[in-house]
Amino acid sequence: MTDATLVQLSIVGGFLAGFASSLHCVGMCGGIAASLTMTLSPSAGKADRIRTLLLAQLGRVAAYIAAGAVLAALGSQVYFEFDRAAAHLVLRWAGALVLVYIGLSVAGWAPSLAGLDRAGAAFQSFVSARLGHRLHAASPVLAGLVWGLLPCGMVYATLFYALLSGSVVSGALIMLGFGLGTLPAVTAAAFGVTQFLALARTPRLRWGVGLAIVVLGFASAAVPWRTIAALCGLPLD
């Protein structure tokens, strides 16, 4: 397996996790997106609302990427404290198990990861009640950064997967993929595209996405040590 394949697995795994996340929390995230769009461009035309939403999405995805890179850096520091081959094996299988669990949860075959979503909704209401009057002067990108830090079970699960990736690059790519995976559903919900919301509730779609994540989990466990070492610039001896 080549370095390019490893990069693709990181991005695709994160993308599917993000898409799956948007399936179960599209109502909350869509509401946040719509609220930010109307607050930051209340009297603007459609083009300006789209621009505002895209900038907010940029801030949110940037928050995910930064968090993934930081956590992966912390994980790699722990990794360097142990025998590299053994530590890599543990991290690789732990990360694969996390990805498999995410897939099973999305498909409805394991306990849901959405427990923190209610806390996220409450926190969002709390922040809006106290900062809503200041949002008119806020940058959409800054608002998106705050949005990206809201509690979410799927975000935290994917960040844990990034933590176990053993590489800052992989951690950032996982969360980049995650952010990109959330864009279609959140954007559609923000503009009231009800057809996508109905599609998101289709059991077969959730099963398909969940199984795809499970397959990627097994595939990531098959990545050899030498591929990881070459990507991370580690000695092969």
Q: What is the mean pLDDT of residues 126-149?
A: 70
Residue position matching structure tokens 């599609």: 199
pLDDT in tens, 58-89: 999 999 999 999 999 888 776 656 555 566 66
**For residue 4, pLDDT beyond 60:** no
pLDDT at 224: 53
pLDDT above 60 (res 171)? yes
Percent of the chain whose predicted confidence (pLDDT) is above 90:
14
SS (H, E, C) the chain: CCHHHHHHHHHHHHHHHHHHHHHHHHHHHHHHHHHHHHHHCCCCCHHHHHHHHHHHHHHHHHHHHHHHHHHHHHHHHHHHCCCHHHHHHHHHHHHHHHHHHHHHHHHCCCCCCCHHHHHHHHHHHHHHHHHHHHHHHCCHHHHHHHHHCCCCHHHHHHHHHHHCCCCHHHHHHHHHHHHHHHHHHHHHHHCCCHHHHHHHCCHHHHHHHHHHHHHHHHHHHCCCHHHHHHHHCCCCC
**Quick one: pLDDT band at residue 140, thresholds 50, 70, 90?**
confident
CA 20 to chain CA centroid, nearest Å: 9
pLDDT band at 218 (very low <50, low <70, confident <90, very high): confident
Structural domain boundaries of the chain? Answer: 3-232
